[in-house]
Amino acid sequence: MITFEAVSKSYPGGGRAALTEVSLAVAPGEVFGVIGASGAGKSTLIRLINGLEKPSGGRVVVDGDDVAALGVEGLRALRRRVGMIFQHFNLLSSKTVAGNVAFPLRLAGVAEAEVKARTAELLARVGLTDFATKYPAQLSGGQKQRVGIARALATEPKVLLCDEATSALDPETTEQILELVSNLNRELGLTIVLITHEMDVVRRVCDRVAVLDGGRVVETGTVEAVFLHPASATARRFVLEADGAPSEAAMVDGRVVRLTFRGEATYRPILGAVARETGVDYSILGGRIHRLRETPYGQLTLSLAGGDVEAAIARFRADGVRVDLVTEAGR
Ligand SMILES: Nc1ncnc2c1ncn2[C@@H]1O[C@H](COP(=O)(O)OP(=O)(O)OP(=O)(O)O)[C@@H](O)[C@H]1O
Ligand SMILES: [Mg+2]
């Protein structure tokens, strides 16, 4: 549905390129996450998809169209197929909820009777039927984002772009919006590209994820692969922070390992046994129970020191616990 072929982007007068040689492919019906630190190029990447920015090099192809080659009319048609929602909702404050949702339809010249019917249908889909005549200022953040989603869906897009769409919302509201987004993906077969700095969001809804660092893609994979076995230092740092471990965990003495417990291994009293048998001391740097979509798993970040650290790692592995090395020995 979306491919980036060696895409680079420099802004006029900007220093370092915002994106360098980015290649990726998003399949139809997929929820694709993009994570990266502030300034990594996430918003730039998403704005290239709907032609708000043009690449300085390489090609962005969306639903068969080379975005940079589209004229004004072609871009307009593309933007009807690619909806977008924003962190701060970007609603028109002078229009009602219904007026905001109807806006792209009126812009597209849809007949008024159809605008009315379609707006009612969209408001029902996002659970805002009773709010049609309210103004944005009268809504909660979650309700505003529902209006944003209904508006983005008005032109029946194939792709929905979400730039930090839940970052301004509390955890419970985030959960509800993510559920809505997941349903849209399933029920409408919508392809979704979702940018976020919240690792929970990626774990809850994404199928695959790309990790951006300094404008380059440093890792791409299924959410399961990237979160359970991160290959790049950047992904490891995100995953470590998502464990509740401070990023300074990487600075402590000893070897820092991340244990992943799934299924039966979760319930065995394994830490004490391994410490006794191998003489290794451990300190706990972080730990949480997470869910990958519906599957729970536990992760514990430990620093291991003294005794036979290699034997301890082998013993964990023999017991069905996954061990990832966060730092090497002797750093
Ligand atoms: N319109 C612009 N003109 C010049 N430079 C820009 C422009 N937009 C972004 N940049 C620069 O491009 C780089 C990437 O910015 P981008 O907004 O894509 O990052 P981001 O990953 O979305 O960050 P954040 O998480 O803070 O939103 C940054 O160095 C930024 O300063
Ligand atoms: Mg951004």
Q: Is 144 in the pocket of ligand 1 (CB under 6 A)?
A: no
Query: What is the secondary structure of 238-268 as a DSSP string?
Result: HHHHHTT--GGGGGSSSEEEEEEE-GGGGGS
Return the ligand 1 atom nearest residue 36 CA. 21
The model's pLDDT over 59-109, given as tens digits with 9 standing for 90+, comes to 999 999 999 999 999 999 999 999 999 999 999 999 999 999 999 999 989
Lowest mean pLDDT among 1-10, 56-65, 171-180, 232-241: 232-241
CATH classification number, 2-228, choose in 3.40.50.300, 3.40.50.460, 2.60.120.620, 3.50.50.60: 3.40.50.300
Give the residue extent of every domain in the chain: 2-228, 243-325
**Are β-strands 19-26 and 31-36 bridged in parallel, bridged antiparallel, or unpaired?**
unpaired
Q: From the CA of 39, which ligand is nearest?
A: 1
List CB-based neighbours of ion ligand 2 within 5 Å: 43
Average pLDDT over residues 310-322: 91
CATH architecture of 243-325: 2-Layer Sandwich (3.30)
Comparing 96 with 231, which gets the higher pLDDT? Answer: 96
pLDDT band at 329 (very low <50, low <70, confident <90, very high): very low
Q: Is 43 in the pocket of ligand 1 (CB under 6 A)?
A: yes
Which residue out of 42, 193, 198 has the highest number of ligand 1 atoms within 8 Å of its CB and is therefore the one to mutate?
42
pLDDT reading at 14 higher than 80: no
Q: Is 87 in the pocket of ligand 1 (CB under 6 A)?
A: no
- Cβ(95)–Cβ(111) under 8 Å? no
Going by alpha carbons, the residue nearest to atom 1 of ligand 1 is 11
Lowest mean pLDDT among 19-33, 156-170, 227-241: 227-241
Cα four-point dihedral sign 34, 38, 40, 41:
positive
Q: Is 18 in the pocket of ligand 1 (CB under 6 A)?
A: yes
Instruction: Read off the pTM.
Output: 0.84
DSSP summary character for residue 79: H
Q: What is the pLDDT of residue 47?
A: 96
**To the nearest whole percent, how much of the chain has pLDDT over 70?**
92
pLDDT reading at 330 higher than 50: no
Q: Is 42 in the pocket of ligand 1 (CB under 6 A)?
A: yes
Q: From the CA of 22, which ligand is nearest?
A: 1
Alpha-carbon distance 188 to 176, whole Å? 18
Cα four-point dihedral sign 199, 201, 202, 203:
positive
How many angstroms from the chain centroid is the CA of residue 136? Answer: 26
List residues bridging with 292 in a β-sheet. 295
Alpha-carbon distance 53 to 75, whole Å? 11
pLDDT reading at 197 higher than 50: yes
Residue 189, Cβ neighbours under 10 Å: how many?
A: 10
Q: What is the pLDDT of residue 326?
A: 73
Grouping H, G, I as helix, E, B as strand and the rest as coil, residue 190 is: coil
The model's pLDDT over 124-175, given as tens digits with 9 standing for 90+, comes to 999 999 999 999 999 999 999 999 999 999 999 999 999 999 999 999 999 9
The model's pLDDT over 276-288, given as tens digits with 9 standing for 90+, comes to 999 999 888 888 8
DSSP summary character for residue 196: -
Q: In what helix (H) or strand (E) does residue 281 lie, and over which residues does it extend?
A: strand 281-292
Going by alpha carbons, the residue nearest to atom 3 of ligand 1 is 11
Q: What is the pLDDT of residue 151?
A: 97
Q: What is the amino acid identity at position 201?
A: V
Q: Is 40 in the pocket of ligand 1 (CB under 6 A)?
A: yes
DSSP summary character for residue 137: G
Q: What is the pLDDT of residue 290?
A: 74
Q: From the CA of 38, which ligand is nearest?
A: 1
Question: What distance in angstroms lies between residue 261's CA and the mean position of ligand 2's atoms?
Answer: 34
Average pLDDT over residues 21-25: 98
Return the ligand 1 atom nearest residue 47 CA. 18
pLDDT reading at 293 higher than 80: no
pLDDT reading at 38 higher than 80: yes
pLDDT reading at 296 higher than 50: yes
The model's pLDDT over 242-278, given as tens digits with 9 standing for 90+, comes to 766 665 555 566 788 888 887 666 667 888 899 999 9
- Average pLDDT of the chain is 90
Comparing 180 with 262, which gets the higher pLDDT? Answer: 180
DSSP summary character for residue 69: G
Average pLDDT over residues 211-230: 91
Q: What is the pLDDT of residue 225?
A: 87
Going by alpha carbons, the residue nearest to atom 11 of ligand 1 is 18
